[in-house]
Amino acid sequence: MVSGRSYPQEVRERAVSLVFELRKENGSRRGAVAKVARQLGIGDEALRKWVRQVEVDAGQRAGSMTSDRARIAELEREVKELRRANEILKAASAFFARELDPRLPKRLR
């Protein structure tokens, strides 16, 4: 399988639902992911990851929900932007403080 391959959301949803259907039919979790992945030409690990995330989002498994991960990523971007703005403001305030300092001779400002 090609690594880094992106699958459409519909394919992901259908593959995950097939895994759950197969598990329900067989009464077992063993081999369902591998069988569906083989049938659809999807990597085993990719499908296993999708199934795991759906279980987490449904509260059936411990982990970070998709919505929580998206919110965390958004907040991390905001923090990065605010830190950058803060550094710019610090540099600007230091520059203007030197310019306005009456103790320094005009030629040193």
Maximum pairwise Cα distance, the chain: 87
How many Å apart are CA 41 and CA 15, to the nearest integer? 10
Q: Could you tell me the two tokens for 20?
A: 């759950």
**Of residues 88 and 60, more confidently modeled:** 88
Q: Is the pLDDT of residue 28 over 50?
A: yes
pTM over 0.75: no
